């Protein structure tokens, strides 16, 4: 296929060139009615590109096939049989994918370290969740994706389950054995759905973790706005095999999705696909090298501990996305939330995530030497000023050995003492965090 073509962008360019005057939504009429004070901040071109997909970029019969051709190019770019664009983010795409696999009252295996959208889908869709518990990293107090044997055990316990939803990479970059989980699910003739919201970049460089389609997953949901180059709410369904019907998936998306899809989302998805096919390997190669330089620099800063491939070598995760920088800050005597707040307040650096133990930062193809230096210098300043950060009460971290994962996370003994308090900096004797 000709990946130099960008059907949505070409249709938008043609719309502008024709000079069409629209007498329907959006009411700002391609920016003519926008308050100049708004346009001064967000730019007039945002509104000029905000066009109806039907009776705008294409007619109501979609006779020009603008969107379908763009989706076919996306599928070809990543090695999927089908691709469908979604403009409501992967939060809605996950709900749609789950509904395409299991209906109300039916069972679906779900990774227990799930995003809010998964839990919301359980409520909205009415499926019966069969939780598959993650592999718990007691030292880092972190959940990594479940393993194939965990999935096999739950499928044997629930042979009427309709499939499995697997989350990988996690927010912290640790990755599942997607191929192993897919083999297990296919042994039971059920689909594996991969919530790969953080993995839109994975198909475009061989040094990155396995891409869900290449690992034989049936349905993969990606958020291109997270690690790619599309605007917020940009999501794509990728589908192969026949365990999930493409017609059913499209119908469920039509049921849950908006009837006012954003041309901005479609256009940037289309353009990002072209960029990755033509330049992705080179751009991601540079990003991978940059992330490794930052990781090495952080490792030399007293009190900071970046997570690296040791989690793979120790058997805690199948792989690690090298573009996700996860940094334990407990030895600075603060929580990740405090570190994130300090960085934003005093260095105007916004990290991607934080919890009681760590912060995370994503390196993408958009980073350059300047952003690399800013991040390293901000982290160096955090270390230098750690003694001036207010000390908070220590966070109570439960001992995972006290919990019986096979019994819906109920304590093994109700009479067991409450978890002991643990200093934010972690144990002093080198023993695992409790």
- Is pLDDT at 428 greater than 60 in this prediction? no
Q: How confident is the model at residue 342, as a pLDDT? A: 97
- At 273 the pLDDT is 97
CA distance readout (Å), 354 to 170, 339, 411, 428 = 13, 8, 27, 23
Phi, psi (deg, nearest 5) at residue 135: -85, 120
| Structure confidence at residue 224 (pLDDT) | 96
pLDDT (0 to 100) of residue 414: 36
pLDDT of 416 strictly over 60: no
**What is the spatial distance between Cα 288 and Cα 279, in angstroms, rounded to a whole number?**
14
Domains 64-275 and 280-388 share a fold: no
Give residue 64's pLDDT: 80
Q: What is the CATH number of domain 280-388?
A: 3.90.1150.150
The pair of structure tokens assigned to 178 is: 């997607």
For 64-275, CATH number out of 3.40.30.10, 3.40.50.970, 3.40.640.10, 3.40.50.1240 equals: 3.40.640.10
Cβ–Cβ contacts within 10 Å for residue 112, how many? 17
- In this prediction, residue 268 carries a pLDDT of 96
pLDDT tens track for 191-213: 999 999 999 999 999 999 999 99
H-only helix segments in 143-262: 148-157, 178-187, 224-227, 246-256
Quick one: pLDDT band at residue 130, thresholds 50, 70, 90?
very high
Quick one: pLDDT at residue 395? 75
Quick one: what percent of the chain has pLDDT higher than 90?
74
Q: State the pLDDT at residue 114.
A: 85
What's the confidence (pLDDT) of residue 402? 52
80: left (phi over 0), alpha (psi -120 to 50) or beta: beta
Place of tokens 């090495």: 296
Q: What is the pLDDT of residue 424?
A: 38
- Walk across the sheet containing 358-362 and list its strands: 305-306, 324-328, 358-362, 353-354
- pLDDT, one tens digit per residue, over 64-77 is 889 999 999 999 99
Q: 35 or 414, which is more confident?
A: 35
Whether this prediction's pTM lies above 0.85 is answered by yes
User: By three-state DSSP, how is residue 192 classified?
Assistant: strand
Residue 415's pLDDT is what? 38
Q: Across residues 304-327, what is the average pLDDT?
A: 97
Burial tier of 180 (Cβ tally within 10 Å: 0-12, 13-18, 19+): middle
pLDDT of residue 391: 84
Distances (CA, A) of 216 to 180, 184, 192, 211, 244: 9, 11, 9, 9, 13
Q: What is the pLDDT of residue 427?
A: 35
Cα 335 from Cα 340, distance rounded (Å): 9
Q: Helices marked H in 86-166 — which ranges?
A: 89-101, 116-125, 148-157
Please report, for the chain, the start and end positions of each structural domain, with discontinuous segments joined by +: 64-275, 280-388
Share of the chain above pLDDT 70, in %: 91
Kindly state the average pLDDT of the residues 146-170.
96
CA distance 193 to 244: 9
Which residue's entry shows tokens 């039907």?
Answer: 54
Q: Examine the pLDDT at 401 and tell me if it is beyond 70.
A: no
């Amino acid at each position: 296929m000709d990946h130099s073509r960008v059907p949505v962008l070409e249709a938008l360019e043609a719309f502008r060139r024709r000079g069409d005057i629209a007498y329907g939504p959006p009411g700002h009429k391609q920016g003519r009615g926008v308050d100049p004070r708004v346009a001064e901040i967000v730019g007039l071109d945002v509104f000029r590109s905000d066009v109806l997909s039907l009776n705008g970029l294409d007619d109501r019969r979609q006779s020009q096939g603008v969107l379908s051709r763009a989706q076919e190019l996306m599928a070809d770019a990543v090695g999927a049989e089908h691709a469908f664009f979604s403009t409501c983010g992967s939060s809605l795409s996950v709900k749609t994918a789950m509904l395409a696999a299991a209906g109300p009252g039916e069972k679906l295996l779900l990774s227990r370290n799930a995003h809010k959208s998964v839990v919301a889908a359980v409520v909205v869709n009415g499926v019966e969740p069969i939780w598959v518990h993650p592999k718990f990293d007691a030292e880092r107090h972190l959940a990594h994706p479940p393993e194939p044997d965990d999935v096999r055990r739950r499928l044997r316990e629930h042979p009427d389950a309709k499939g499995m939803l697997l989350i990988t990479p996690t927010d912290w970059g640790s990755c599942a054995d997607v191929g192993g989980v897919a083999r297990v699910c296919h042994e039971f003739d059920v689909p594996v759905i991969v919530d790969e919201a953080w993995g839109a970049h994975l198909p475009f460089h061989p040094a990155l973790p396995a891409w869900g389609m290449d690992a034989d997953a049936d349905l993969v949901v990606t958020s291109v706005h997270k690690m790619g180059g599309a605007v917020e709410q940009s999501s794509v369904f990728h589908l192969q095999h026949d365990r999930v019907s493409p017609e059913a998936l499209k119908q469920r998306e039509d049921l849950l999705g908006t009837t006012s899809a954003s041309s901005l989302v479609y256009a940037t998805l289309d353009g990002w696909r072209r960029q990755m096919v033509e330049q992705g390997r080179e751009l991601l190669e540079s990003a991978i090298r940059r992330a490794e330089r930052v990781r090495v620099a952080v490792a030399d800063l007293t009190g900071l501990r970046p997570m690296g491939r040791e989690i793979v070598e120790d058997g805690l995760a199948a792989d690690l996305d090298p573009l996700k920088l996860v940094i334990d800050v407990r030895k600075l005597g603060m929580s990740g939330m405090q570190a994130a707040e300090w960085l934003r307040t005093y260095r105007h650096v916004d990290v991607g995530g934080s919890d009681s133990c760590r912060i995370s930062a994503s390196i993408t193809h958009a980073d350059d030497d300047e952003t690399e230096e800013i991040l390293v210098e901000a982290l160096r300043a955090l270390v230098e000023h750690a003694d001036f950060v207010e000390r908070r009460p220590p966070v109570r971290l439960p001992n995972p050995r006290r919990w019986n994962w096979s019994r819906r996370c109920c304590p093994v003994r109700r009479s067991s003492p409450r978890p002991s308090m643990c200093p934010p900096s972690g144990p002093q004797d080198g023993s695992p965090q409790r």
